[in-house]
Amino acid sequence: MQKKNILWIMTDQHRFDGLSCMGGLSGLTPHLDALAADGIVFENCYTPSPVCGPARTALKSGRFPAACGAVKNWVPSHSPDWLPERLQKVGYHTGMAGKLHICPCEENYGFDWKVLSDAPYSVYANDDKHSKYIEWLREKWNGKDPVPLFDKDESSYDNDFYHFCAGSGFRTVEEHETGWTTNQFFRYLEERDKQKPFFFFLSYFGPH
């Protein structure tokens, strides 16, 4: 039987009712609502950890965070076999774009094709140093560094919570990370090994 292509879409830190189909504002998420109507909606799911890195490590390993060493963000994680590695073994070509947030970020974790953008700021762990999105934005801005602008927004939590949540709007719609991440998936579809089924992890930094 021919293997199905697998597209895993993940967003970061939003409530369940951020989707219209789960009780949110009507008409807010029509495309995701359509996917839900044509698929299965799990209404009672619980994260293995309230912290980002450990939760993502558990999802990719199938193990509780502590079993992978991921007890907090930015600590090295380990697993005898990551989900993409398992899929590689049964013939899949694997790829990802966007936020992975598993440490160390230089590892491939079973991805044949990997374009990382864990975070655009440097205020916590220098995530920007490994961000292909930041590299793209610098090139688009003719060498101007956007990281100080992201850092300013992210550092405004204590003195301007609205600024922290909404940002300062220094990017155009075309420059936003959401569109960039989606475009990486389209690029992957062109560059992948088309003789194999694909598994792709499309992971958005927003709404964060």
d(CA 111, CA 53): 18
d(CA 61, CA 63): 5
CB count in 10 Å sphere of residue 189? 13
93 is annotated as an active-site residue: no
Instruction: Find the radius of gyration of the CA atoms of the chain.
Output: 18
Q: Which residue type sits at 34? A: A
Q: Choosing from 31, 101, 103, 176, which is the catalytic residue?
A: 101
d(CA 35, CA 112): 27
Torsions phi, psi for 155 (to 5 deg):
-90, 5
- Cα torsion 120, 126, 132, 136 to 10°: value is 60
Q: Choosing from 45, 52, 78, 130, which is the catalytic residue?
A: 52
31 is annotated as an active-site residue: no
Token duo for residue 203: 């992971």
Angle, alpha carbons 67-71-77 (nearest 5°):
60
Q: Which residues are the active-site residues?
A: 52, 101
